[in-house]
Structure 1
Amino acid sequence: MPEQQEHAEHVVRSEPVYDGPKVGVRRAVVPDGGEERAYDVLAHPGGVAVVALREDRQVLLVEQFRPAVEQRLWQLPMGFQDREGEPPEQAARRELHEETGWSAERWRHLRTVAPAAGVSEERTELYLATGLAPGEAEREDDEQGMEQRWVALDEAVDDAVAGRLLCGTTSLALLLVAELLRRDGGSVA
């Protein structure tokens, strides 16, 4: 991978354009050859996504309607980091429980990703959750039509590689876990 070079680009000012209940839009202004260029940026509090993995190498996926792409998607349990002062791992624990009812004994931070760096300031924290225990989901109003199912990790990875999983965050996290298992000889502890 090429080394990241240092450049003089920077945001000289940022102005709010729209503030919604979950996300907003801000205008970021950067210097451009003696001029200034404005970019509209999705203001996002950050997200979390959880690969809940059972001992039998089954992962938990949820399906829900996503208005932005106008279809139902199978994804990992995921959500916003939108509670003031809540650490990312706690947000991941909350989202897993809210959406699926499951909780986990062991948590491993996989990576921080910028899923749409060209248009959004979102950073999503990816977690692996193991040592799972069932419980009762406490879904929010917009999650009531959500379905869930356990899928073999290998099948989910095949779906990601074949393009049957549209969510890039889900695909990346599944591929990371599969690679970790390969490197660690099948153990995720």
Structure 2
Amino acid sequence: MQTPPISDEFSPRELLARETLYQGRIWNVIHDSVKLSETGGTIERDYIDHPGAVSVLVMDEEERVLMINQYRHPVGMRLWEIPAGLLDVEGELPLDGAKRELWEEADRTAEQWSILTDVFLSPGSSAEAVRVYLAREPKLAPEDQRHLRTEEEAEMISAWVPLQDAVAAVLSGKIHNPTAMIAILAAQAARADNYANLREANEPFDVHPYLRQG
């Protein structure tokens, strides 16, 4: 039996009705009535209307990964993560958002950018799409040009972790942030061909439900 190509595909359905059930500070909860194309029936679905996000795996010349540690209230833990944030600046391109988050959360810029992967973190209940970048040749921002972090971000600490140690931490259940886990394992896989097959950093983020072109 021939194996079909493994690639997710766009599959739009007719939207019959939409209602905002809850309007929050960052995201809303939406109720949609949708017509199925195969059976002609309808389904009712509630989901989180999410602006999407970007995250950045920063790697230095020694193939160490920059990890940041941050308190996350819903789970009551400090988690080791990578720089990340919402695409909540109107008109901002994903790559520019990633550069902003790297500066805000890690006081750094980077010379070389590429895409590690794109991911839906919970596609059954949220529209959140995350683009994960690999940033190389990092540079520390001058002290007088660094972002003033507040609230939980004011408690952030950072550490450089060898890629192999980060992979081991993921597999041993010591790292739980999903985008950090995905980025670390993707970087390990990309390392096998010297990162040669990664996509260009400015490629359109078309899988994002609100950034699709055409």
Matched residue pairs, number? 187
Query: CA offset at residue 22 of structure 1?
Result: 1.5
Q: Distance in 2 between matches of 1:10 and 1:68?
A: 35
Specify the code of the residue in structure 2 equivalent to 1:164: K
- Pairing partner for 1:168 from 178, 183, 194: 178
TM-score for both structures, normalised by structure 1: 0.88
Task: Give the alignment of 1:16-165 within 5 angstroms.
Answer: 16-31=20-35, 36-135=42-141, 136=143, 137-138=146-147, 139-165=149-175
Opposite residue 175 of structure 2, the aligned amino acid is L
Sequence identity of aligned pairs in percent? 32
In structure 1, C-alpha distance between the alignment counterparts of 2:166 and 2:44, rounded to whole Å: 40
TM-score by length of 2: 0.78
> Which residue identity lines up with residue 99 of structure 1 in the other structure?
E
CA offset at residue 68 of structure 1? Answer: 2.4
SS in structure 1 of the partner of residue 192 of structure 2: helix
Give how far 1:48 is off. 0.4
Q: Which runs of 5+ in 2 are unaligned?
A: 199-214
Q: CA deviation at 1:20?
A: 1.8
Aligned Cα RMSD in Å? 2.4
Q: How far apart are the structure 1 equivalents of 2:44 and 2:162?
A: 45
Q: Does the 8 Å contact 1:98/1:140 carry over to 2?
A: no
CA deviation digits over 1:42-98, x for unaligned, max 9? Answer: 111010010000001111111111122221111111000100000000100000110
Which residue identity does 2:22 align to in structure 1? Y
Residues 163, 184 of structure 2: 8 Å contact kept: yes
- Tell me the CA shift for residue 141 of structure 1: 3.5
